[in-house]
Amino acid sequence: VSRLRRAAALAALLSCLAPAMSAQTTFKGRPLTDALSMLRRQGLNLIFSSDLVRPEMTVEVEPAGATLQELLETLLAPHGLTAEIGPGGSLLVVERTTQPIIVSITSPTSRRTAIGTVKMSATLVSPEPVEWVEFLVDGRQHGLRRAPPYEIEVDIGTDNVVHEFEIVAYGRFGAEGRASVKTQRYVVEGRVEVALRQLPITVTLGGFAVDNLEADDFVLEDEGRREPIVTLAQADLPIRAVLLIDASESMKGQGLRAALDGVRAFLSRLGPEDTASVLLFSDRTLAVTPFSSDEQALLARIEGASAGGATALNDYLFAALEILRGIDGRPIVVLLSDGADVVSVLGIDDVRWKIKRSDALIYWIRLPGLVGLGSRFSSSWRNVDQNRREARGLEAAVRDGGGRIEDIEGIGTIEVAFDAIIEELRRQYVVGYYPSEPRYDGSWRKVEVRVRRPGARVRYRNGYFDQ
Amino acid sequence: VQRGVRLLVLGALGVSLLGAHDSSYSKRRFVGEYRDILRQYATGDIDGALERYVLLETQASRAADDRRYQSMQSAKQKLHRKMRRASVETLPPLTQFQERAYVAYLERHDSRLAIYARLLATELAERYAVAADTGPQRSLASGMLASLGGYAHDALQETAASRLYGQSLELDPDHVPALLGLAALNEKRGEYVAVTAYLRRLVAAGGKGLEPRLRLAVNLSRVGPSDEAKDALRRLVAEAHEDWIRSIAYQELARLLLREGSPLEARTLLARAVAELPCDPTLPIQLAYADDRAGRTSSLDLVTALASCPYRDEPAPRARYTHPPTPLFDQLRQRIAEAVATRLPTLAEALS
């Protein structure tokens, strides 16, 4: 700290003085004592001894600094000398001790995850002019900057791994400084060595997404205890979406065509780091694709599919969640269905069990159908009352998990609904925090989030199993 | 009263079928052509006659005005009455002809004409049931009513299906397809205790194949202690050669084991099921669930498992279970066709 204060005082002192040397004067090759004496004559209270500034020392570099500080440094630094504030506001020429450049990385920060395009930036405090700043990720150089601002953007890929970001600054006269941060893996499951919990949060005001919120805008409570938010990102975690399309008999013809248009719209708005899998189902698998970001490849695999059969909604919703298990990024299920399960072997309670243990958000585009909550519908596997309970259970599961039900009037608005969902995902926040009293006992922990914006609505998963 | 209501519905449907008018479709021409078609049918050329009939009905429904079309239908029913007066044995062929027409309209997605044909067939079958005196007549009438009940059941006309199954059982209390159909309907209503008692009697009476045993086992698992259900399901797993029955037996047995808190046993069972029935879509999903409940990471790549079999345009086992017992109804309809074939000469004679 004292060094920083001294440097600041020196800069202030020198900045008060008029430029000491005329542009016409040539110093290179002349004795150093001559150059310093000239500065003295021009009013600079410069004190130096003949032990340090010896007669044989010559000016090695023609001084070209815009400020007196730079000019003085140019004269002294090649000889291992520098100037410090002395008694009575004088400047003492002293032997230079090797002092590092102080590098403070402002982005990324440790404890945050880093995937895709990441901004690297730093502020520097340097005892001498900075020659260049080098940006490295995991030991590989990704860029150089010779002047402020010292920042670059770097694409580090989608691997969910720990990255080391290092920024190294080099001074004109040999000073160096470096700093590094290690970012964290995105933790998909509750089981973590570092116990970081990440929670997707959607914030809306009057039905529109609220952007540019800061960590301080959120209030998060885990089991009633307020927790500080250590990471905050808006939409920079890649999306991993399973598009789960009910292609049962009722979707034959126009219905399926409209559904595929919706899928197409969703895929076209995925970012380069996002991936999706498409699963068309009825009581059987009609088409399924692996995860890919290649829109055309995904569409090619589903476009020949035709609708037919009864609906096994619970079974395939479970399958979608299972497919997303352990995957890095932001797991999402977009379900298009009227919600009428006819033949599943799994009940909605089985699916809710899974939903509670999954990090996936479920967006349900609910088609109007014969099977609203108030209608009478039965099959050999469930009677009317059981089906009503199933439908209510699915609604609750989607909402408890922080997802959303988008009720649409008909197949004509399927595409719009898909569009609205991808737009929402693009503007969703992910906050990270460390539960201060983790128990790791498998118990359910309730989470509450508020945002300091009057009238804003917040949607998030309302808890998790502490495992 | 019911018959009166149905006649009114028939009349109303007839009226509602009409579109553009064409004066060339006179009642006389229509009935003449229908009579000619029945003659062709009576010679045994069922498919040819049916094709002509569907064409005639479709054109007439589009061409005649309301009043004239209604009068055509009345004339058709009048012809049926004449046939019945000549011989009651003309009713089974006429019933079956309308039933076949019903199926043909369904295939053409003409639901209005399909409903009309089914109602007409029901009317004819009920008349035969009223007139049936002998054992074979009663058995045939019972079969025809059960068959029509099966079609109504398939079309989700559950009230009609229930009534037809009931009428069938009045004539033949042990009619297996009607019994199973009625059980399936009661199952949809959640009356599991009644269904179980019913199926238990049916199975005890003589086995009647594996499907009744499967339905009994499924319903046993819903109503009481699971030991009997588990035993029944285990026997089905071992004995069933039909994939869909074996698949459901595996699924329901695994479900019971999971319910009892034995996920490891369930997953072992399901792993065996997946190996035996690799193209069944439900089994790998249920196995993944059992793995999850057992606290294990699934050994399956679910995407690969779901995509591994070529698409088949047939219902999954659990969807098949929701329909009336298809093979039994197929066999029943085959028996009815044989009985009707012996009555075609009677129809030919009446038409002459």
**Residue A397 contacts residue A408 (beta carbons within 8 Å):** no
B298 shares contact with chain A (CB less than 8 Å): yes
> In this predicted structure, which of A53-57, A253-257, A463-467, B144-148 has the lowest mean pLDDT?
A463-467
**Model ipTM value:** 0.73
A284 shares contact with chain B (CB less than 8 Å): yes
pLDDT of residue B333: 94
Chain B residues within 8 A of A285 when measuring between CB atoms: 281, 306-307, 311
> In this predicted structure, which of A42-46, A55-59, B9-13, B42-46 has the lowest mean pLDDT?
B9-13
A283 shares contact with chain B (CB less than 8 Å): yes
| Number of residues written out for chain A | 467
Chain B residues within 8 A of A380 when measuring between CB atoms: 184, 187-188, 321-322
A381 shares contact with chain B (CB less than 8 Å): yes
pLDDT of residue A10: 56
pLDDT of residue A328: 80
Res. A194: pLDDT tops 60: no
Over the stretch A394-430, which tens digit does the pLDDT of each residue have?
999 898 888 999 999 888 899 999 999 999 998 999 9
Res. A9: pLDDT tops 80: no
Query: What is the pLDDT averaged over residues A457-461?
Result: 92
> In this predicted structure, which of A115-129, A229-243, A268-282 has the lowest mean pLDDT?
A115-129
Q: How far is B145 from chain A (nearest CA, A)?
A: 22
Q: How far is B149 from chain A (nearest CA, A)?
A: 17
For residue B108, give the amino acid letter: R
**CB atoms inside a 10 Å sphere around CB A295:** 16
Separation of alpha carbons B56 and B69, rounded Å: 12
**Residue A360 contacts residue A321 (beta carbons within 8 Å):** yes
Q: How many percent of chain A have pLDDT more than 70?
A: 88
Q: How far is B315 from chain A (nearest CA, A)?
A: 6
List residues bridging with A457 in a β-sheet. A204
Q: In what order do the strands lie in the sheet with A463-466?
A: A225-227, A218-222, A443-451, A463-466
Closest by Cβ to A322, choosing from B251, B302, B313 = B302
Whether residue A322 and residue B298 make contact (CB cut-off 8 A), yes or no, is yes
Separation of alpha carbons A340 and A353, rounded Å: 19
Residue A191 — very low, low, confident or very high, per pLDDT cuts 50/70/90? Answer: very low
A246 shares contact with chain B (CB less than 8 Å): no
pLDDT of residue B140: 94
